[in-house]
Structure 1
Amino acid sequence: MRDTADFDAFYDATSRRVLHQLYALTGDLERAGDCTQEAYARAWRHWSTVSAATSPETWVRGTAWRLASGRWRGRSRGGPKPPASPGTGSADLVAALRRLPEKQRYAIVVRHLAGAAVREIAAETGTSIATVENRLAKAHATLVRILPGDFAVLTGGHCV
């Protein structure tokens, strides 16, 4: 039997944060919401396994990102739809993030918005620490060029 209260507490504690991370990753609030909800539905269906994971939130975020990436690749070549934005500053940041290659965008968002360590990102993505560091450095350099002041706010003034 599934522990409804345990899952509900997990959902309440993490869903808003995961949604914001997916919005930053996709640039599309509606798609981020759809993928986040589907990822939580899958987590619920497999809760005994997901709840035993080192980080259930990482599991959900990774699942949501894989869903979003699949939907993104499956879209027509007409181009991405403009992001729906809760505010101007976040729209600028999301637009800048969308200019990054997918793997760099994932690394920078998970590092700075989710607060994951480089080694955690490497494990989550199945890559080496050096590869993640390289992606972060490239993403950081691009974002500093695009949003010099705004990106410093995201990273707390720190380099990757």
Structure 2
Amino acid sequence: MAQDESLRDLYDGCYRRLVAQLYAICGNLGEAEDAVQEAFVRAVEKPRRFAQVDNPEAWLRTVALNVVRRRFRRLTRYRGLLRTAAASTPADAVPGLSPDHVTLVAALRQLPLEQREAITLHHIVDLPVREVALQLGVPEGTVKARLARGRARLAPLVREFAEDVEEVDHV
């Protein structure tokens, strides 16, 4: 019973935070929710193994990231087989999120997955580079390179949006 209660407390404490983090990476709220739920299911399926984890939230994030990555690879293969670009759900169709958050996610969607992961974990989750490297299973230098490249690609995208908003405000 105590183990069930602690997992329930963990769910209550970090589910929304994990969904927001994964949403910033994958750009799809439903996909983010599914990935985090899958991570919790795996924790429930293997309670002894999960009980030995030092940082349960980091473990859940890692599992959810792996779920997103696997689905991303499958979708990429599927799209390649069909030779068509599937239209994504527009970011502004997500209810209850601030325009800034929706804009950031829309800009992040235009980055390669590796850069999105690094930027989200470092700047949104607020993990140090060392921890991001551990989460992603890559060297710290790789994380730093992904962050630098991602920020360079993200800056003009966010600037474009800011200019569009200013034009609308002046009309």
Q: Indicate whether the TM-score tops 0.5.
A: yes
Q: 1:121 aligns with which of 127, 132, 151?
A: 132
Matched, 1:90 2:70: no
* Structure number having the greater helix percentage: 2
Report the alpha carbon displacement of residue 63 of structure 1 after superposing the two structures with TM. 1.1
Mean Cα deviation higher: 8-17 or 71-80: 71-80
The separation in 1 between residues aligned to 2:114 and 2:54, in whole angstroms, is 22
Structure 2 equivalent of residue 154 of structure 1: none
One-letter code of the match for 2:21?
Q
Structure 2 equivalent of residue 79 of structure 1: 86
Mean Cα deviation higher: 141-150 or 19-28: 141-150
Q: 1:105 aligns with which of 116, 125, 144?
A: 116
Structure 1 equivalent of residue 21 of structure 2: 21
> Structure 1: where are the runs of 5+ without partners?
152-160
Taking the TM superposition and a 5 Å limit, the aligned residue runs for 1:111-150 are 111-148=122-159
Give the % identical residues: 35
Superposed CA deviations along residues 66-89 of structure 1, whole A, max 9, x for unmatched, are 112222222242325224423332
Report the alpha carbon displacement of residue 150 of structure 1 after superposing the two structures with TM. 8.2
Structure 2 equivalent of residue 35 of structure 1: 35
One-letter code of the match for 2:88?
K
Structure 2 equivalent of residue 49 of structure 1: 49
Structure 1 equivalent of residue 70 of structure 2: 70
Superposed CA deviations along residues 23-53 of structure 1, whole A, max 9, x for unmatched, are 1111111111111111111122223323432
One-letter code of the match for 2:36?
T
Contact 1:26 1:98 in 2 (8 A): yes
Question: Could you say what secondary structure the match of 1:54 adopts?
Answer: coil
> Structure 2: where are the runs of 5+ without partners?
80-84, 163-171
Aligned length: 151
Contact 1:2 1:48 in 2 (8 A): no
Structure 1 equivalent of residue 4 of structure 2: 4
The separation in 1 between residues aligned to 2:122 and 2:150, in whole angstroms, is 11
User: Who wins on radius of gyration, i.e. which is larger?
Assistant: 2
TM-score (norm 2): 0.79
